[in-house]
Structure 1
Amino acid sequence: MSEAAFVRIEEVTRTYRRGGEEIHALDAFSLDIPQGGFYALMGPSGSGKTTLLNLLGGLDLPDAGRVLVDGEELAGLSGSERAQWRADNVGFVFQGFNLLGVLTALQNVELPLLLTPLPRRRRREQALYALELVGLADRAHHRPRELSGGQEQRVAIARALATDPKLILADEPTGDLDRKTADAVLDLLVRLNQEFGKTIVMVTHDPLAADHARHVVHLDKGKLGRIEENPPRGAAAANPTEGAAPESGT
């Protein structure tokens, strides 16, 4: 395995019971992701993509093996410690946006900051800055029903950025968007990866969405398949040596 791995998944197994059936969501799965990587996870339904994302976010724990993020083994933390770790280090982006309809865009973005010791004024400034990053400062006081689907997802991305997390986990972030809007959201993720160095792991069924990532990891029945490297996009295209694929743990 690469010594420089930011995310390290070592021989992870996760098994569930559904009725009387035992389902191996992940089976001795290993993968290294470097800091600043942009990885797409692809595979058929039931291949383990969302399970892997939940493990990376500390929402679930493996039955065997280890998950480390920036050197922190998540299974070694208590439930409350994992919750705090998640609040400090991870931003989540979901297919369904998960915005609260009674709150404005600014208030939605500010929500994760309520878990920090920041004073109210600083929280508001940081939330507004996140909206500026996604180009929606002028929609700060609009509620979700007053926004388009693409704008809602950009607000959701701003919310994920509000705490300046090291890791962004995106679960089908363009699944509810048309192609043009989806591409705009994906271009934003590319920018966050390239300009701000965010490590991004994205689950998707869409090959066109996966094309925006630097590496595409294929899963099949809980096992690691192949890893593909995409040509760089945007600013990274000027540096062809950037983003070489790390070793997998298989």
Structure 2
Amino acid sequence: MYLEYYGLSEPPFTITPNPKFLFYSVKHREAFNHLLYGIKERKGFVQLTGEVGAGKTTLCRALLEQLPDTFSTALILNPVLSADQLVRAIAMEFGLDVRRCDRLETVAVINDFLLRQMAEGRETVLIIDEGQDLTNDLLEQVRLLSNLETDDRKLLQIVLMGQPELRDRLNDHGLRQLRQRITVRYHLKPLTKPELAQYVQHRLHVSGGNGVPYFTRPALWRIFNYSKGIPRLVNAVCDKALLAGYVQQSDRIDWHLVGRALRELEGNIDA
């Protein structure tokens, strides 16, 4: 609705994980480099955690876009499955036909696929999102998949992503074998106040903004105070604030327009 008024080519603050809009704060760049290092150096297991809406999935999609064609990847977004279903879902993500296979047969198919990948000089990566929802049994199944290896290298690189609860889960004594295999870890923290201002400007620029609309410093402070630097919350507030600015026919998004956006988002917030 407000795109034409502001001269924007596309919505700047959608909450979908579009890597086109990824803003590389210092922490996001560090997280990306940890992921890339763990995968390219064949570390076996990489762990990425962060609060809800911190940008983990967007980072993941950016990583998938930047991996060379010599990498085959599988992405599991909803791991709340049985062990059989999880193994089958992983195989299917790699394009393997396991419709008539039980779990052991499916693992054998995956192992053959990984060996073929290695023979062809290709790397294989499995990324599991929402890892905090995995039961101990499922996490153990993931660990068993990491056992697929030759004498000198891992056949499968696994990235476990999740909320901070994933770190707590992995401290469980029963998961110590898995925890010891994770050699690359990174916890993605929220944006700082200066980074939030850069983040907002970055997304407006990617959407075709050329100085319009403009978020004032008090407006950005209010957004930070509400969102605590979580990108998804920043997007939600900014989107509503742009709509409020359009209704007011204002190119300048100020403290009061952000307050109006907050009231619409929260209903009873003291804004």
What range describes the TM-score normalised by the shorter chain of this pair?
A: 0.3 to 0.5
TM-score by length of 2: 0.39
TM-score by length of 1: 0.42
Task: Name the one with the larger helix percent.
Answer: 2
Computing the radius of gyration from Cα coordinates, the structure with the larger value is 2
